[in-house]
Amino acid sequence: MSAEAEFVVTVDQNAYLSVGATRVDAVVAVTATGDATPAVPTAALELLIIDTSGSMQGDRIASARAATAVAIEQLRDGVLFAVISGATSARQVYPKRGAARADPQTRAEAVTAVRKLSAGGGTAFSNWLTLARQIAEQHPGAIRHALLLTDGQNGDGRGVLEQTIEECIGVFSCDCRGVGTDWNVAEVRKIASALLGTVDIVAKPENLAADFHAIMNSAMGKRVADVSLRLWTPKGAQVKFVKQVAPEVEDLTAKRVQTGPLHGDYPLGAWGAESREYHVCVEVPTQAIGAEMLACRAMVVRGGSTETLAQGLVRAVWTDDDALSAKVSRKVAHYTGQSEYADAVEHGLAARRDGDERTATMRLGRAVALATAAGDREKLEMLAKVVDVDDAATGTVRLKSKVSDEAEMELDIRSRRTSRVRGEG
């Protein structure tokens, strides 16, 4: 038995290409299975960043205190942790400096300190993230994770947040939660995307505790820090895009770090016992009928090392049999639809906010059609709060005149969450 996760890579694709074709699509699933019991863990650092700006007064700060206490209770013995309160500036709530090692006494002390949190002041994400980074930098090699809770819009000057996020990349990962409906999805998503985390809305403060519980559960389950997806492609080939497609859509294309003449790495962050899937699209030089090519070798590597933990092969075989080349892998088709859905929702809602009703109607209609084709009830229910559907199959819709902020934000945030599909087996 090992405390370390074991990785498995599987590839779903139709390897057959028609004469002259150059585009190869595949869904690469990376699954880690491991010992479920928390044996001697890799050192872990957990940072809880709580918004204590003036807008948090009342229910919100009370719920945030309770939720943070729940998160603290879940820290495994031995895990390093710190609690940060964020307003215009950032301040360490517990411990006074650096990180504490979780045990019954430190957990109790932290909960006591958190109970005293009160709200006041403005919001400057950059100061919060910078303090988190400074603490995290003292623990290289640990699995470093932050949970950021906010309820408001960022007050940083232009470009300041972007610069700060840039400095945090590779130092820690960050899941973000917005409470209420006054925060800006795009802004918070920027943090979560860059720092390999998730973003979600917790509209009702009383639901915070349950959400924090889930996040900590997943954070405490991480076993391997710093995993990367390494894609080898042959000479003359090019990776057109790499998108995480499950559990959420996240474009990784721009995160490539060239690590050799024929391969580049895409950081995936820390892993527990979980499965994520990636849509890889490669452009290869076309070959004669009957030729077989390795279009991409997809490897899971430990960050900063050359050790390959697992690998899968994406192949290309040229054929003049159209029956073979015309087939599209069910997984590739499914996730292509799901990414298009996410794009349609995001662009549709942005157009709606900009007052461009024509584009909004078209794009949200397309989202309805895609969700209908995929038989996705949950997505259709969320869409129905924003548009009236005349014909679901063709995506003929009318924009609703009155839409709750909560419904709109929920649709926006959850548009990237995908449903899974079984491969061809």
Asked if 249 touches another protein (CB under 8 A), the answer is no
We find the least distance from the C-beta atom of residue 399 to another protein, in angstroms, to be: 49
Asked if 8 touches another protein (CB under 8 A), the answer is no
We find the least distance from the C-beta atom of residue 328 to another protein, in angstroms, to be: 20
Asked if 326 touches another protein (CB under 8 A), the answer is no
Of 8, 169, 209, 317, the residue at the interface with another protein (CB under 8 A) is: 317
We find the least distance from the C-beta atom of residue 289 to another protein, in angstroms, to be: 10
CA angle 112/118/123 to nearest 5° reads: 125
Query: Is the four-CA dihedral 188, 191, 194, 200 of positive or negative sign?
Result: negative
d(CA 77, CA 44): 11
Of 96, 116, 158, 235, the residue at the interface with another protein (CB under 8 A) is: 235
Asked if 231 touches another protein (CB under 8 A), the answer is no
Asked if 374 touches another protein (CB under 8 A), the answer is no
Asked if 284 touches another protein (CB under 8 A), the answer is yes
What torsion, rounded to 10 degrees, do the Cα atoms 145, 157, 162, 243 define?
A: 90
Please name the residues in contact with 421: beta carbons below 8 A apart, sequence gap of 6 or more.
Answer: 330, 331, 334, 335
Asked if 233 touches another protein (CB under 8 A), the answer is yes
We find the least distance from the C-beta atom of residue 336 to another protein, in angstroms, to be: 24
Asked if 371 touches another protein (CB under 8 A), the answer is no
Token output for 75: 């820290």
CA angle 243/249/250 to nearest 5° reads: 55
We find the least distance from the C-beta atom of residue 27 to another protein, in angstroms, to be: 20
> Mask of contacts with another protein, 174-213, x by CB under 8 A?
----------------------------------------
d(CA 167, CA 269): 16
Of 20, 157, 236, 375, the residue at the interface with another protein (CB under 8 A) is: 236
Of 95, 234, 272, 303, the residue at the interface with another protein (CB under 8 A) is: 234
Token output for 261: 């003449």
Q: Among residues 186 and 262, whose Cβ is nearest to another protein?
A: 262
d(CA 242, CA 225): 21
Asked if 307 touches another protein (CB under 8 A), the answer is no
d(CA 387, CA 365): 8
Classify 204 in phi/psi space as left (phi over 0), alpha (psi -120 to 50) or beta. beta
- For another protein, the binding residues (CB under 8 A) are 233-237, 262, 284, 287, 290-295, 313, 317
